[in-house]
Structure 1
Amino acid sequence: MEVTIREEGVAIAASSVAGRLLDDGVPQRLAAGDPALWGEEATAEAAARLGWLTLPLTSRELLPEIGKLVEWARAQGLTNVVLAGMGGSSLAAEVVCDTYDVPLTVLDTTDAHQVRRALAEGLDTTVLVVASKSGATVETDSHLRIFEAAFRAAGIDPGDRIVVVTDPDSPLEQAAIDAGYQLVLARPDVGGRYSALSAFGLVPSALAGAEIEKLLEQAGEVAPLLALTDGNPGLELGAVLGGAALNGRDKLILEDQLSEINGLPDWIEQLVAESLGKDGRGVLPVVGADPNGVSDELVVGIGSDNGDVRVDGRLGAQFLVWEYATAVAGRLLEVNPFDQPDVAGAKRNTAELLDAPAPGRPAFTDGPVEVYGETRARDLPGLLNELLDAVPGDGYLAVLAYLDRLAAFDAPVREGADFEEMTDAWMAADAATLRALLALRTDRPVTFGWGPRYLHSTGQYHKGGPGNGVFLQITGVVTDDVPVPGRPFTLGALQLAQALGDLGALAGRGRPAVRLHLTDRVTGVAHLLAAAQEA
């Protein structure tokens, strides 16, 4: 594992804080699990959240249990692995499976259309992994209930198809025992976003066919370096992140185009944003974007020279070193890297809005797009210009889409089309393309998040960070809703309540935010992308 600083300003900023970290004995204290590293107010939380430091060793104890679980699934012909989990309960496994090129369907959505896709993938060969640290995550609970009903309707005993990963003594543990589900207990002293090398990352990855032993070996090889004062990649990267942020370079552009690891920036985004974005401070990770060459950017290349800093290492080592570096950066920024104080507000709003009437009248309607919120614009190009103009000189624009993130693959493609043509067709139907179109028109970062996935990731930064974001939220009509058995709501109602709940939380903090509602999803996305090109 190697961290190479390629830009002089970054080297100076990192060096200025590295000496302080060494003087304070941070490598030795963190290796020993000292919870006082982040201040008196964070000590109690940190004391219960440092188990990730020893996961390369302790998670090896899980390998025999996971091996038996894999044998059980293979014996029943369960080759279609569906993971129901949010944030830290799913992002690491997604990276692992993408990197090892093994199939995994991740359900971190409340979009009815996307959930129906997963239900249609062949229940007769499906094993559902339900992953929730608290055991009370509303999205994951809904997925479990929906799949239980679907299995029973297909004449399948859910007890033969469901695996639960949760903390000891969580409500989900008892529910799994009562229902006779396969159960793997995770370490309670590991927070969700630091759980890549725990049962949350390992169980679904192994069921999908990834070689999880290699992950632990890779992490185990780098672990001894994290106690050193010299040649410590975690300390070096932490000094880079924290030192750069303290010097105004708090927009972390993650570049991985040449890496053999697939999707690592999405995992880093959650780890860094949720750990550091609080108390009016933080680091904003920007995924899938080109640098603008502005003064507040820090460009980090994952196995790539396209950046101020290059980070090389195999996946297991990357997981552990980024966790360590984030914890170190938290000390430098004087924030608790293990809590998420601004997430609860949006959850409370969601619960209240599930029983609330539908939103009022839109500010205006442009074709298949209704616009809600305070705006002087009267068409979509004017609105997009207004939002871009509202971004402060040190700020960013966030596009937040509560839609089916796989819908673009339904776009018609001519018979015999090559891959480039297919990609063009998919991009022209993908709401995420809006990020790139808007980024062409500003030198400020433009981020994109799928809702409610981002609520367990950048959502903490949006509400608890420096307060310099502008928000464009997108929702869409639900044409084939999914009821949630045993609950007085559908997925469509839950999804809209989550969107409105977060919009209310942002507005309550004075963040500029507008919602676009697509009355037809396909034509609405096309109309919105056309407006972005016209603006």
Structure 2
Amino acid sequence: MNPLKSLPDHGQAAWLDFLARGFIDKGDLARLVAEDGLRGVTSNPSIFEKAIADTDEYSQATADLLGQSDLSVMGLYEHLAMADIRKAADVLRPVYDATGGADGYVSLEVSPYLALETEPTVEEARRFWKEVDRPNLMVKVPATKAGIPAIRTLIGDGININVTLLFSQEVYEEVAKAYIAGLEALAAKGGDVSRVASVASFFISRIDVAVDKLLDQAIAKANDPDEKARLAGLKGKVAIANAKLAYRRYQRLFNGGFAQLKAKGAHAQRLLWASTGTKNKAYSDVLYVEELIGPNTVNTMPPATMDAFRDHGRLRNSLEENVGEAEAIMAALAKAGISIEAVADELVSDGVKLFADAADKLLGAVARRRITVLGAQLNTQTTALPQTLADGVAHASEAWRSEGSLRRLWHRDAAVWTGKDEAKWLDWLTLVPEELKRVDELVAFQREVAEADFDHVLLIGMGGSSLGPEVLAETFGAADGYPALTIIDSTDPEQIAATEAKLDLRRTLFIVSSKSGSTLEPNILKDYFFDKVGKALGRDEAGSRFVAVTDPGSSMEKTAKADGFWRVFYGLPGVGGRYSVLSRFGLVPAAAIGINVEVFLKTAQEMVYACGPDVPPADNPGATLGLVLGTAANAGRDKVTLIASPGIATFGAWAEQLLAESTGKQGKGLIPVDGEPEVPIDAYAGDRVFIYLRLTDGSSGTQDAFAETLRAAGHPVVRIDLASRDRLAEEFFRFEIATAVAGAVIGINAFDQPDVEASKIKTRELSAAIEQTGHLPQETPTAITGPISVFSSEADREQFDLAAEAGGLAEVLRAHLGRAKAGDYVAILAYVARNPAHHEVLQKARKAVLVERRVATCLGFGPRFLHSTGQAYKGGPNSGVFVQITADAAHDIAIPGRSLSFGQVEAAQAAGDLGVLAERGRRYLRLHISGDVAHGLATIAEAIEQAVARA
């Protein structure tokens, strides 16, 4: 016999506060039961974290689970933990049976994140009880204000409960009464109260740690030596005194009014002494065991304390000794001005936080284990940051962790941003599993498309409706037996004509994507192509070639039904356009070109889990990227420069829209820089963050060396490695989470686009004017130089007129671009056809500005960019210097059913765009090309090169 094994002779059960897989599998738990009379086990996140993070015991189990199906980090932890709990419960089942259900329990804690929520606590406890499926399970629930009613409900359900975080005698009495009330409720509905057990876990050593600190402060203030001595005499005694008085309450509560329940076989709720490892080395290492031995109690000890008590513990019925002295100790404490209830309240609050901290640490360990097992299945992310930025990101990460901001984001708390309407735009968070549930509809559509034998798919859309599908088309192309996908997101007559020339209208499927159905461009483009198909096939047959993707109840839905569209697919109203690529807006065109949408979604799901609410920010790739971007923006590094391997290069245009439209408002935000020419490293200033999406298949060419040069020069570089193009699905979700987080750090609503709407209003006003008069309001050029007419604000007119007289267009541009200072950017906004030739000539001008002026450069083709970067240009930081390029339409195209032409709409859009730039006080210049567009663009590009060379 040893002191540990003899504890039951004094009415106390010894439980172990430890659990790990190897401890069970190697027989150590069974030996403690057999040799030391162990009668129960408690677990907590901190215990599991040490086992998962510091050993390889869970590596194979993790691999096996993930080999069957992917799991969230919390789901993975629960699978691992519940397996251990079941095994431990089976080892302790003989104890449970031998003691008639008095002992033999294993405890599993509900998520500490739910400590302040009653219903979620109840739901999770019920789920644990069902999934563990062992009668000797105890579910741990904290004694918070929200936890106590949950305890009553769960006892009423017949679920065993271990009540944790008890420090106060008053709260303990509430807990005991909740237990009794729960039993009464169970009995009233015919339940068997004899099969329910509960312990009230009174935390011991933490009380002495807190009170001793307060006593030391009181001693330091006291002047009387006797007072100092009296106060010093209380140290190390309050926790035990408090526990003895709690035990007296237990005796009163369960020796009187409990008789009726006891007659039905009910067990008293035992007091369990927790936190019995001695924190202060000046005290005995078995203090909190020896002094708290008494009938019908439990002491749960950490392994070191259990070993110490086995070795040199002394047995006596100490719990009922000197109760009068315990009262005197508590009275003396109160006289010293220290409230034990106030201490208890603070310890509960601290305990909730400490439990959450431990859970964060545990889930971080599980997340890292998951990443290791998945390997190349999950795209990896590494950051190289200057020390100041790294420190800022680390500080932000810890703040987000300690405040639970990421969980709040996932729980749709609008206060994470500005507390306005953000919550209604967050359905993209759960979009992937929702789309997986209804993927069969897309699979059927894909089969029908293949059977229809189309040559082409033309997607008509703008912004989020077109940019995501464009990435898919350019990255993956069409599978064998499926049509190629082309995007039309322009009102430029030349581009419309060039697009139409590629198509056999009889063998083309048209997808009209418009979330609201009220966006101008998709509507007029639909009218144009519907009319064309009607003439080719007959009006009655035209609808059979059209599919709509729109929100339920939109005007586009009504149009589609009226025109007899083949299919209508519905988006989710709570998903904004730029967050919609993983919805039907991206998946319908993906299905049409033969992409396996189920595999695509499951690939995205891997990143959804990696970025989930259960993954702490430091281990959460999406949150980390967002914290880098938001912290960098607040520090003046707001130019997010996107670099990508050639095989995935079009991803940048999608990310550009997401970042710009989400964050660029209220004078703040990120300015994404996509497709910028690569130049010598000294051209890049200190306002940049670089994101490098890198295929690891060796196709990145010189980009690896370029990224390394940037890193070596001290620029912040975030590198994301993809094992193949197929893994690109993951990046859509990573960037969505990152953008939402960055928006919160910057302090804006990441889901509205007020300045895009302002531009639309201007365009509508100008379009109405054209319909009335036949033309836009006439403007007088500031200057005319060859085929280029210069238009500027009234304030700049005289300066640019003189510049034109002195040196022509180059001098005008020298004056305009000279306004770009350090930290600014130059954006060329071209309302001309977006084609390789036009892109190439403007890229040359862009490169010259970058090299000579050392400012970031952007290139956008209108009206496409209006639904993308246009928001940031107008609503973001006033650091842009804009060159708008317009041109006469060489061959305009009429819009069926309207008195407007496409060329007039494009002109109205350009004028509306410029009008909002002017209203926002932006620095702008408009250059209008008369005659040949290619010649005009070359003239402008050459003038820009000359202008910056002279600077």
Q: Note the 1:340-355 alignment, pairs <5 A.
A: 340-354=753-767, 355=769
In the TM superposition, what is the alpha-carbon distance from 1:213 to its structure 2 partner?
A: 2.5
Q: Among 103, 113, 133, which residue is 2:515 paired with?
A: 133
Q: Note the 1:328-477 alignment, pairs <5 A.
A: 328-354=741-767, 355-356=769-770, 357-373=776-792, 374=797, 375-376=800-801, 377-378=803-804, 379-406=808-835, 408=837, 427=840, 430-477=841-888
Q: Whole-Å Cα distance in 2 between the matches of residues 298 and 146 of structure 1? A: 42
Structure 1 counterpart of 2:594? 209
In the TM superposition, what is the alpha-carbon distance from 1:432 to its structure 2 partner?
A: 4.3
Q: Whole-Å Cα distance in 2 between the matches of residues 521 and 298 of structure 1? A: 35
Aligned with 1:481: secondary structure? Answer: coil
Work out whether residues 252 and 299 of structure 1, in 8 Å CA contact, stay in contact via their aligned partners in 2: yes
Work out whether residues 414 and 422 of structure 2, in 8 Å CA contact, stay in contact via their aligned partners in 1: yes
Specify the code of the residue in structure 1 equivalent to 2:690. Answer: V
State yes or no: 1:196 paired with 2:581.
yes
More helix per residue: 2
In the TM superposition, what is the alpha-carbon distance from 1:315 to its structure 2 partner?
A: 1.1
Identity %: 38
Q: Whole-Å Cα distance in 2 between the matches of residues 159 and 177 of structure 1? A: 9
Q: Note the 1:75-114 alignment, pairs <5 A.
A: 75-102=451-478, 103-114=484-495
**Mean alpha-carbon deviation: is it higher for 431-440 or for 13-22?**
431-440
Structure 1 counterpart of 2:410? 31
Aligned with 2:459: secondary structure? Answer: strand
Structure 1 counterpart of 2:304? none
Structure 2 counterpart of 1:298? 689
Q: Whole-Å Cα distance in 1 between the matches of residues 913 and 411 of structure 2? A: 38
In the TM superposition, what is the alpha-carbon distance from 1:358 to its structure 2 partner?
A: 4.4
Q: Whole-Å Cα distance in 2 between the matches of residues 463 and 531 of structure 1? A: 26
Q: Whole-Å Cα distance in 2 between the matches of residues 493 and 68 of structure 1? A: 41
TM-score, normalised to structure 2, is 0.53
State yes or no: 1:164 paired with 2:544.
no
In the TM superposition, what is the alpha-carbon distance from 1:462 to its structure 2 partner?
A: 1.0
Aligned with 2:606: secondary structure? Answer: helix
Work out whether residues 442 and 597 of structure 2, in 8 Å CA contact, stay in contact via their aligned partners in 1: no
Structure 2 counterpart of 1:524? 936
Structure 1 counterpart of 2:662? 275
Q: Whole-Å Cα distance in 2 between the matches of residues 39 and 477 of structure 1? A: 43
In the TM superposition, what is the alpha-carbon distance from 1:149 to its structure 2 partner?
A: 0.7
Aligned with 1:472: secondary structure? Answer: strand
State yes or no: 1:60 paired with 2:436.
yes
Per-residue Cα deviation, 1:24-68 (whole angstroms, up to 9, x for no partner): 20222223333332132x2xx222111111122111234222222
Work out whether residues 381 and 531 of structure 1, in 8 Å CA contact, stay in contact via their aligned partners in 2: yes
Q: Whole-Å Cα distance in 1 between the matches of residues 688 and 400 of structure 2? A: 23
Q: Note the 1:142-181 alignment, pairs <5 A.
A: 142-156=524-538, 157-181=541-565
Per-residue Cα deviation, 1:120-173 (whole angstroms, up to 9, x for no partner): 221121111100111111000011000111001112422111110000111111
State yes or no: 1:238 paired with 2:626.
yes
Aligned with 2:558: secondary structure? Answer: helix
Structure 2 counterpart of 1:322? 735
Structure 1 counterpart of 2:162? none
Per-residue Cα deviation, 1:214-257 (whole angstroms, up to 9, x for no partner): 3211111122222211521111111111111111111111111x
Work out whether residues 845 and 945 of structure 2, in 8 Å CA contact, stay in contact via their aligned partners in 1: no
Structure 2 counterpart of 1:73? 449
In the TM superposition, what is the alpha-carbon distance from 1:483 to its structure 2 partner?
A: 1.1
In the TM superposition, what is the alpha-carbon distance from 1:532 to its structure 2 partner?
A: 2.7
Work out whether residues 97 and 210 of structure 1, in 8 Å CA contact, stay in contact via their aligned partners in 2: no
Q: Whole-Å Cα distance in 1 between the matches of residues 594 and 494 of structure 2? A: 27
State yes or no: 1:250 paired with 2:662.
no
Aligned with 1:534: secondary structure? Answer: helix
Specify the code of the residue in structure 1 equivalent to 2:784. Answer: T
Q: Whole-Å Cα distance in 1 between the matches of residues 596 and 837 of structure 2? A: 31
Per-residue Cα deviation, 1:245-275 (whole angstroms, up to 9, x for no partner): 111111111111x364231111111001110
Q: Whole-Å Cα distance in 2 between the matches of residues 275 and 66 of structure 1? A: 29
**Mean alpha-carbon deviation: is it higher for 224-233 or for 314-323?**
224-233
Aligned residues: 513
Q: Whole-Å Cα distance in 2 between the matches of residues 433 and 137 of structure 1? A: 33
Larger Rg, first or second structure (1 or 2): 2
Specify the code of the residue in structure 1 equivalent to 2:532. Answer: A
Q: Whole-Å Cα distance in 2 between the matches of residues 203 and 30 of structure 1? A: 28
State yes or no: 1:533 paired with 2:934.
no
Structure 1 residues 407 and 483: CA distance shift in structure 2, 3 A: farther
Aligned with 1:390: secondary structure? Answer: coil
Aligned with 1:311: secondary structure? Answer: strand
- Once superposed, which parts of structure 1, at least 4 consecutive aligned residues long, lie more than 4 Å away? none
Specify the code of the residue in structure 1 equivalent to 2:719. Answer: R
Work out whether residues 3 and 236 of structure 1, in 8 Å CA contact, stay in contact via their aligned partners in 2: no
Work out whether residues 350 and 500 of structure 1, in 8 Å CA contact, stay in contact via their aligned partners in 2: yes
Per-residue Cα deviation, 1:428-476 (whole angstroms, up to 9, x for no partner): xx44443223323211111111111111111111111111211100111
Q: Whole-Å Cα distance in 2 between the matches of residues 242 and 206 of structure 1? A: 35
Specify the code of the residue in structure 1 equivalent to 2:823. Answer: D
Structure 1 counterpart of 2:923? 512
Work out whether residues 453 and 507 of structure 2, in 8 Å CA contact, stay in contact via their aligned partners in 1: yes
TM-score, normalised to structure 1, is 0.92
**Mean alpha-carbon deviation: is it higher for 274-283 or for 155-164?**
155-164
State yes or no: 1:493 paired with 2:868.
no
Specify the code of the residue in structure 2 equivalent to 1:108. Answer: D
Q: Whole-Å Cα distance in 1 between the matches of residues 731 and 415 of structure 2? A: 25
Work out whether residues 491 and 521 of structure 2, in 8 Å CA contact, stay in contact via their aligned partners in 1: yes
Specify the code of the residue in structure 2 equivalent to 1:2. Answer: T
Work out whether residues 250 and 296 of structure 1, in 8 Å CA contact, stay in contact via their aligned partners in 2: yes
Work out whether residues 79 and 208 of structure 1, in 8 Å CA contact, stay in contact via their aligned partners in 2: no
Structure 1 counterpart of 2:385? 7
Per-residue Cα deviation, 1:158-209 (whole angstroms, up to 9, x for no partner): 2111110000111111111122211100111101111110001111122123
Work out whether residues 31 and 53 of structure 1, in 8 Å CA contact, stay in contact via their aligned partners in 2: yes
**Mean alpha-carbon deviation: is it higher for 128-137 or for 368-377?**
368-377
